[in-house]
Structure 1
Amino acid sequence: MASNILIAYFSHWGHSKQFAEAIQKLTGGDLFQIETSRAYPEEHDPCSIQAHQEQLIDDRPPLVSHVQNMDQYKTILVGHPIWWYREPMVIRSFWEAYDFTEKTVIPFCTSGDVGIENTQKDLKMMLPQAQVKPGLRLATHAVDTSGSEISNWLRNNAVIK
């Protein structure tokens, strides 16, 4: 039987990927890496400047690949780093690429010190047809030590028992 849980993530430095993989181990859901053809600098400051420019012009970086059979998924967890207090613009490209009607969407993110509140608001605004559940933000380097927090969050959102 195919999974009805999708864990889609964008990860520039690997932390959000690590978070997505931890979720996948607990849920058995399918992993999908959100990728863009746009290159981002490895160094923090130049990457931050580029991300800010994308936000200022409300840009939508092009997606490299697409989820096959999106209709099969009922629950979609969407992960990313926080860039300039919210999701990277490629996440908006992802949200706009699919119909989320009657799907449950749950955000997760990594950040040095900024919360997930803006992403949560953006998600509800951009996907009003979806049921948006509370997201989870972990400190950038805390995924390895956050297993019980991730499990509790997934249980509270009825993703696992």
Structure 2
Amino acid sequence: MQLHQFSRRDMLKLSSTAAVIGFFAPLFHISPVQATENLNKKALVVYFSMPETDTPHNMTREEENSTVVIDGKVLGNTQYVAQLIQEMTGGDIFRIVPQTPYPTDHRTLVDLAKEEQNENARPVIAGTVNLAAYDTIFLGYPNWWGDMPMILYTFLEQYDFSGKTIIPFCTHGGSGFSRTIQTMQGKQPNATVIRDGYALSRSRMERAPSGVAEWLKEVGLKK
């Protein structure tokens, strides 16, 4: 999916994204031979995103804060970043979807997210993904109440990432990653979790295309 014509709040239009140049070696400190082997395998972009509306018109402030509109289609903030990463790396993509849909009303959703956190809930995920074909997995989510949404805990406990590299990215309202990267490493001690993830404020979504491109150069991935 080619992403263009960024229209959230009519701030700008996106030009086509360029291919990201680089290699795995600078990030993972591996040999050129190993880097070449890794480049022959696709990355997987896994994300959870929760846009609070699917209607691009007459949004409330809360709805605007949770969404980006591309060519009239509403995307969640994290969904938008995930699709940019997928486009720029040529990887595959998988969306984490709860079996029981979350509410889109802002206050109801915020309260439910806090309730799940307080109860240490593990929301059931609809569908599965085969991780066997991937060595590198981008994992994205919004920061809710200073943590990953609890459905990310479900995902991290449902799959074995041993020997794989996890590259986190998140969208947030000011909290960045909080301690989610450390939590991720604790849940998957046999995986390599990259600490230089990509965190983007919901008030700076217009920076996503250039920001993701620069970050991927630092990460060392190419299409």
Give the alignment's TM-score, normalised by structure 1.
0.91
**Superposed counterparts of 1:13-32, under 5 Å:** 13=51, 14-32=76-94
Secondary structure (helix, strand or coil) at the match of 1:108 reads: strand
The within-5 A match list for 1:33-44 is 33-44=95-106
Aligned residue in 1 for 2:157: 96
Runs of 4+ in 1 over 4 A off after TM superposition: none
**Structure 1 gap ranges (5+):** none
Confirm or deny: 8 A CA contact 1:9 1:16 kept in the other structure. yes
**Aligned pairs for 1:76-155 within 5 A:** 76-133=137-194, 134-155=196-217
Larger of the two Rg values belongs to structure? 2
Superposition deviation, residue 159 in structure 1:
2.8
Q: Is the 8 A contact 2:42 2:90 kept in 1?
A: no
Offset at 1:155? 2.2
Letter in 2 for 1:154: L
Deviation at 1:58, TM superposition (A): 1.0
The alignment's C-alpha RMSD in Å is 1.6
**How many residue pairs get matched?**
159
Looking at structure 2, the residues matched to 52 and 3 of structure 1 have their Cα atoms a distance apart, in angstroms, of 38
Moved more, 47-56 or 143-152: 143-152
How many angstroms does 1:15 deviate by?
Answer: 1.0
The Cα offsets for residues 8-31 of structure 1, whole Å up to 9 and x where unpaired, read as: 111111111111001011100001
Alignment TM-score, normalising by the size of structure 2: 0.67
Any gaps of 5 or more consecutive residues in structure 2? 1-39, 52-75
The answer to whether the 8 Å contact 1:102/1:130 transfers is yes
- 1:107 maps to a residue whose letter is P
Is 1:8 equivalent to 2:61 in the alignment?
Answer: no
Contact 2:165 2:193 in 1 (8 A): yes
In structure 2, what is the Cα distance between the partners aligned to 1:52 and 1:107? 22
The more displaced of 111-120 and 70-79 is: 111-120
User: What is the CA–CA distance in structure 1 between the aligned matches of 2:183 and 2:147, rounded to whole Å?
Assistant: 8
